[in-house]
Structure formats: structure tokens, C-alpha cells
Structure 1
Amino acid sequence: MEVFVAKQPIFNREQEVYAYELLYRSSTENSFPDIDGDQATADVIINSYLNIGIEELSNGKPCFINFTEKLLQLRLPTFFTPREIVVEILESIEPSEELVCICRELKQLGYQVALDDVVLNEENPYSYQLFQCADMIKVDFLSTPKKIRKRIEKIAKENSIKLVAEKLETKEAFAEAKRIGYDYFQGYYLAQPTIVSTYDVPTYFYFDYKNIEELAMTESSMDSITELIEKDLSLSYKLLKLVNSPFNRTKQKINSVKQAVMLLGLIEIKKWLYIFSVRNKVQKDSDLSKHVVQLSLTRAKMCESIERIANYKTAPSASFTLGMFSIMDKLTGVPMEKIIAELPFEEELRDALTGVQNSLKDVLDLVTAVEKAQWGVIRKKCEVLSIEETEIFKIYAESLSWSNQLMETERLEII
């Protein structure tokens, strides 16, 4: 499925691009859909971090990202490095002791904090403390009365806080902001948001997303989380991309989801599971068919079962991963070579998925031959792997039954 992120440049006084703000979009229409803030931010984080890539979006500039109170409490800004983002605090978040502590913690870690459409509330004792945490304040030039703007400008000057004039829609508004002494400028007069798109693997949870959210927020074991992720190609793919991301990059090559979970750790995994669950509440439309979902599950189970009785031995988890990921190019429309280049697979698994003939590829060839009823290929591959033909058809029937059971009894939801 196609996914989107919009980016709007923020300029300095010389009208050079200083940064970009990343904005939620659900289509090529350049407008913000009316959805929950947690869902919008979760979508922006997943698409910018995992699907498109923050470096490609930013051209080396920092990116402003809106964070809701819940996502700040989960310390989600730390998914990015301090040089990659500016943490934008929404005006809808009431200043509190907890919010001030979170902002101070982020500042100590090197993150910049921007207050968006800030509301002056002198009755709230934490409002001024929040100002003191800010590196920047964004001021809406379209709707903020001049009297309030002047108060914000005064506080910013007293605390050496940079000012960002946003929603500049006319030449006159830009000139006024520049004359007053604003540091940065954003708005349709200067540049409209640009939509960037790519393809993602649709998520097909084998049980409802609420169960995933509960799993992410409770004391779950590594085995239970691994079992969940292994049965979902999209979650498996994103997890493996996380392992191979610049922030988490490891030289260690892996061949299973369990290894990836162990490398990242349960705390990090649970945070991402929560983000996936929040994001997928809004992704109810997909052209992913039930047939393709079942095909990936059946292939994974078949490859795993064949490995257990074949004369060639590798980890069953590698064979399961092989079957699951073998349809990635069909799902995304992206060449398998490009997909695999972003994943930390061991060489043998990588080669098999990209068409290089080896023992794992023999296993996959046998599975696809069974799907297509290619009797000559089935006979040849059974000989290579020292498997009786009767065994392979038994494995196919059992694997099909297993995937059917998952889809029918676990309330599969394709999103």
C-alpha cells in the first residue's frame, strides 16, 4: 500500500531552509485529515523513520515533529537522534510538572524543544517553567491576536528563545515578522508542504490491535511478543528494519524475529508495538487480499516444516522467515534486492530470497512448486532434499490447515 508524509520547509532570515516540519497525510491531497493526534504522529514516525527514511526527507536538516502528551510520556522522541528532530509540543497539552520534567530530560539528552501555538496561562504555575525549557516558540501569524503575540515575543526575548512565525500567507505578514525580529519563517507564502510517498507492507494482525496494545503495555514475555510478530509480515519487516536502522545498526547478521527481539530488547520493542497499534487504528482500508495473507503464512509454515525433515539443516526460524518474506516484492512492488538491502539477514537467507541457488532456495522452490502443481520440479527438489513426495503433500495440508485456523479462529483483521 502507498503511504505518505508531507514536509514543509522552515526558513531562516536569509530565506535559506533551516528545517522541515513533517506533517500527517493519508493521500496525495495536501490537507490534514480529521484524526486523533496520537494516530497522526504515530503514522508520521513510522513513515519517516522506517518507510521513507528521515535522511531522505530532511536533506540533512532537522525535522519538526508534533508529539502528543501520551507519546511524550513514552519518550518517543528518543527514537530519533537529537540532530534529526525538533520536538514540537502541541498547544493542546496542559503544562504540568510531568511535562516540564520530560522536556528537561529531553534537553539534557541534547534535543531541541519547540512550543507550538503556545497558550499563555498565568494561573498555571508550570506555564513559565515550560517556557524556560523551550528553544523555540512557534507563533501563528494567521490567528494569534497582536496583543498576545507581543506578550509571547517579550517572554521569548527575556529567555533567549528563538521565534518561529508560522502560517505566513501573505508578503505583508512575512515582512512584518521579519521586521519584528523573528528568527524563522513558515507558511504558504514561502512554500507549501510537499508530499512524499512510498510503499509499505500492509499490516494484517491475526488478532485485534487492542490485544497488541495490551501486549505492548503489560509485562509480556519475549516469547509471547516474538510469537505475535512472527505471524505478521508487516511487523516482522518493520522490526528487522529497526535492527538495521542507523540508530540501532549492528554488524551482527540474523535470520529470525527472535534474534531481532533479543538485539533490540523488550523495552524498545514494546514502545514500537504501541506505536504500531496506535497507527493501525486508522488504517482500515487495504487492497491486501485474504489469499495473499494466507499465502505468506502457509509458505512460512511449510518452509519451517520441510527444514525439520530435510537432509539440509539450518535454523527452523530461518526457514520460517524465508517463507514469510518470499512475497515481499509482490506486496510492495519493490524489487526484492532493494528490500533485502535494508534488512540484517545472514548471507544464506539473503541469497535465497534474491534468487541465488542454495539449500534454502531449494526449500522455497519446493514450496512454490507445490503451490503451482509443478510435478517435475516437486520430484526433483524432493530428491535434492531427501524428502518423500508423500511427506511434502502432508506438510502442505498441515500448513494450510494451520494458516486457516489462524485466520478463522483468531479474528484476523486486515488493515
Structure 2
Amino acid sequence: MTESARPDQASQPLRLRNFYIGRQPVLDRNQALYGYELLFRGSAQGGANIESGLSASASVIHHASQLGLPRAIGDATAFLNVDKEVLMSDMFAFLPRERTVLEIVRSVEPDDAVIQRMTQLAAHGFRFAAEASAHGAALARLLPVVDFVKMDVRELPVVTLLSLAPRLRTTGKRLVAEKVETHTEYRTCLDVGFDYFQGYYFAKPTVMAGRKLSPSQTTVLDLMNLVTSDADNSEIEKIVKREVTLGLNLLRLVNTPAVGASRRIESISQALILLGRRQLQRWLQILLYAEPGVRGHSQSSLLMLATTRARLMELLAQRLRPGQRNVADVAFTVGMMSLMDTLFCIPMQDIVEQIPVIDEVRHALLVRKGFFGELLRLAEALEQMDETSEAVLPTLHELSIDGDDLAELEISAFEWSDKVVRYAI
């Protein structure tokens, strides 16, 4: 939790205890990643809450800088909530202005001083966002100085959404649909003309009768079965070489900074030797999400989410069960598999019947129980922290994890996932 800070102390270092991070994706019309809204939560005093006033915004901004904003968002754009006190301070002067959008919270009244300050910052390259329903009639005053207008699809009636969005588009503003949770809502907002979408509609499973896996996915699953059955490398190599795109993706993956090869790997046989069976299995899991020919579509969003979730669960398992490498491997597998129902558009029950898994993994995926189920519940709660922040603290307590440790593990997972996805597709 951040200690209170006066406006004249805004540029001084702040101390934060027991915090963790929400990183919510903002996708474009092709469902490719555009940015992240960063939310920092305090976990002290027995409640998971976002701190109010200056301390909340100061926590985000200060620690985005301290932890390294690129580690948290990669090449994406950061959306950061700011209140009036922060707006009038200089605490965010060190942020990369070309990749930072300052989101004006609902408590800010756009008086002359606020508009003047926003105009000054805009001249220095900062961009602004405002939420339509939060500011109501005052939105008209903000429009000349904001670049993005957010609209909460849960708060605004559909009829208002349908009439307001086209009018706002004529002003040249970029429209962001918030809390989009279903594909129907996404399609509606797409048709109306929204530019960006925030919400987890892309991660919700949609069961499709008669759905068939792509040839590439079928090949990857066949390879995973060969790996778990200890088949010879030559047999695995033969299948990989038969699928040209699969081989290219595998070579991209083994040459990522996330793998850390000391020299460039040029052949499939080298890649298989370098990885070993343990790493090969996890890279095959990643390749399931890296469908060829769909760069910039929902698979890339799922890939980012799945790899971040899996890596965070792996790091948590390493912290909680040190020296037990197999436990960390299983945690990674659970994280990757937890979105396969969305990827394949089939029920999770069918997936665990088709892909051989141990009982602990099955239990975690189906009912979120057991050690791996607790890790999965924590990862999912962190992803949707604006809706389920209350679910984080009890799980932290159950797992005996300190919020400060969790934040650093989250940043490491964000960074690792960004490196993987950048080269995987």
C-alpha cells in the first residue's frame, strides 16, 4: 500500500507494500494487441482494494517506472488512470509519452485548470482517454483534448451505444468498448464502428458442434503424444519436417530470448537436442496457439494470455515448491491447457479425455481445486481484477504469497510472454 503523498511530494520516491498488478488487454478491430490498461492493487489491511486519490495513481505511475514499463507492456501502449492531483503534478514526466495514454478518471471535473493542463501535456506528446458515461455532459468539454473515448457496454444501454458511437466517430476520436465479455457484444461494437475493445470475450470458450482441429493443431497434438511416449528424436523430427510451417515456428521459438540459446539454431535436429523433452513439450503447447496464417487475430491474443498465465503459474510453483522442477512443469501445463477449450471450441471435459493428463491436472482444469487449481484461480483473478479483485487476497493467503513477491513474478511473466509471442507468430 502506498503511503499518502502531498502534491508537492509527487516527484519523490514512494514506498509501496503488498501490491499486485492487473494488466487488461486492449485489442484492435483485428483482435490484435494494441495496449494494456495497468491497474495496481494494494493487498494490505485484509482487503484487496484499489487505493484512492493521489496514492492510487501514484502507485501505478511510480512502479510502472520502477519496475520498467517495457517489462510490463512490451511494445504495447499503456493506459494509466490519473486523477486531478496527478494530472497537476509532474510524477509521470519520465514515462514514455509516445506509448502512454493518461485516462481521466470520473472524479475529475474538467474545469479551466484541468483543460489547460491537459493541453500543455498534449503539446509534449501525451495522449488522453475519457469514459463517456463517467463524465456525462462534461464529456463535451473534454473532447477537444482527448484522443480516446471509452464506452462501458455494461453501463450504457444498447440504444445509447448505437446512437452515441456514430456521433463520436464524426469527431475523429478513437472509440474503445470496455467490458466486452461476449462475442455477440464484440460483433455489435465492431459493426457500430469501435476501434478498440477491452474485455475477455476473446478468452471465453464457444462450443461449436462438429468442430475439427486444423491440420497443424492435429500434428502438434500427435507430436505431444510422441514426446510423452518417449519416441525417438528421429521420428519426431520426421513429422516436424513434414509440416513446413510448424518447423519454421519451432525454429523461431528456439531462437527467442526466452529460450536463451548461446548461438542461433538453424536445424530441426539441433532444436530438438537443445530443448530436450521437457522444454519440447511446453513449446508444442505454445505452438498449438500459434496457428499459421492468422497473425493479428484472436489466436495471438489467446497465445499472449495463455503464455503469461502459464509462466506466472510456473514461477509461483517454483517459489512455493522450491527444488521440485516437475511441480513447476505441471503448473505451466495447467496454465497452457486452461484456455484450450476456447482455442479448440470444445468443452474442457473433452480435452482432458483426448489429451492424457494426471489427475491433479484434470482436477485443476475442471473444478479449479487442489494446489494447481489454486494457482489457476489466482492467475484468472489477477487477469480480471476490476471484477474479481476480492478473490485475490484469500488465494494469496491460502498460498502464503506476499503481494510484493507476486508483483515481481507477474512482471517476469509479462516479460517472458512478450518475448515468446513476438517470435512465435
TM-score normalised to the size of structure 1? 0.42
Larger Rg: 1
The structure that is helix-richer by fraction is 2
TM-score normalised to the size of structure 2? 0.41
Q: Does 1 or 2 have the higher relative contact order (CA < 8 Å, sep 6+)?
A: 2
